[in-house]
Amino acid sequence: MELAYIPSPSSGVLYLGPVPLRGYAFCIIIGVFVAVWLGNKRWIARGGRAGTVADIAVWAVPFGLVGGRLYHVVTDYQLYFSEGRDWVDAFKIWEGGLGIWGAIALGALGAWIGCRRRGIPLPAYADAIAPGIALAQAVGRWGNWFNQELYGRETDLPWAVEITSSADGRMPGTYHPTFLYESLWCVGVALLVIWADRRFELGHGRAFALYVAGYCAGRFWIEYMRVDEAHHILGLRLNNWTALLVFLLAVLYIVLSARKRPGREAVVEPGAGDGEGPAADAKETDGDATGKDAPAEEATTGDAPDTEDSGRPGKPDEPEASAEQEDAEEPEESKDGAGSAKKG
C-alpha cells in the first residue's frame, strides 16, 4: 500500500471557455519567459543593452521548437509512421515530444542568425542565457507530468508519481518521477553555472559549455531510469549515447577555449555604452560642463588684455600715432612721384 505519491492530473488540458489551455504548452511558454528574463539581466550585467536577449530569442525560440520536434520525430519515427499510426500526429506538438538535443542545435542556429544581424558574438550571448535555459528546462519538464509521460521504473517511494492513464501502452501504477528528477537537476545546473561564472569569470562560450556538460551528466543517469520506448545501441538508450558524446565535446571545448581565449569578453555588444545608460549620461554631463566652461575661460582670457589696455592713459590714441609714423617714414620716391602726379 502506497503511503504517499505524487498524483497525476486527470487531464492535461484546462478550458477557458472554448479556448483550451494545455499544460505542456503552458510550461514551455513559462520556461521561455524565465530564460529571457534571467538572460536579459545577465546580458545587461555584462555590458549589453536591455531587450537584446528578447530580440534574439525571437529567432532562437521558433528554431528551437522546430529542432526539438524534428529530433523527437526522427528518433521515434515509429510513433508516427508505423502501421496504425497517423503521421499528422507528428505536428501535434502540444501532446508532448520535444528533444532537447534538437532544440539546442537549431535554437543555436536561430540565435546565431539573430546575433549576426546585430553584430554580437554568439558565445557571449550563449554565456548570458545558459542558466536561463537550464531553468526553462526545469519548468518545461512539468509539462511531462501533465501528459503522464517520461516516468521511470516502478517504485513505492513516497515521491513516486501515480500514472492513471492506460493510453499508448501505459500501465497504471506508481513510478519514479524522472521528470521531477530532471527538473531539480536543471535547477542545480543553473545555480552551478551562475556560481562558476561569478567565481571564474567564464567567457567565450565556457559558461554555456558548462551548462551543457552539467545537463548531460544528469541526463545520462536519468535517461537510464526511463522505461518508455526508445532505440538502444549496445544496451544503452540512444539518448544515453547522445548525452555521453555531447558531454565529452562540452568538456573538450572548455579546456581548449580556456587555453586559447582566457578571461571574458571586454565588449559583448558594440555601441551598447553609447547614448544609453548611466555611463552615457555621465559622459553627456561631463561634456556639457566642459562645453560651458571652455567659452567662459576663453572669454576671460580674451578680455584681459583689453581691460589692461583700457586702464592706460593715451592708449586709444596709439593707432593714430602709428598712422602718422607710417606717413613720416614714407619713401622719398613715393612723395616725389605723388608730387609729380599732382604737377602733371
Q: From the annotation, which residues make up the binding site?
A: 141
Burial readout 96-112 (b: 16 or more C-beta within 10 A, e: otherwise): bbbbbbbbbbbbbbbbb
Q: At what angle do helices 206-225 and 122-140 cross, to 10 degrees?
A: 30
Residue 169's closest CA among 85, 98, 73, 94? 85
The cell for 225 is: 531510469
CA distances from 86 to 80, 91, 95, 122, 249 (A): 6, 10, 14, 39, 37
Residue 206's closest CA among 257, 260, 259? 257
State how far the Cα of 228 lies from the Cα of 152, in Å rounded to an integer: 8
* Cross-strand bridge partners of residue 15: 20
CB-CB contact of 92 with 131 (8 Å): no
State how far the Cα of 184 lies from the Cα of 336, in Å rounded to an integer: 112
The cell for 131 is: 542558466
Residue 230's closest CA among 242, 220, 241, 238? 238
Q: What is the DSSP letter of 16?
A: E
CB-CB contact of 181 with 157 (8 Å): no
In degrees, to the nearest 5, what angle opens at C-alpha 251 toward C-alphas 247 and 257? 140
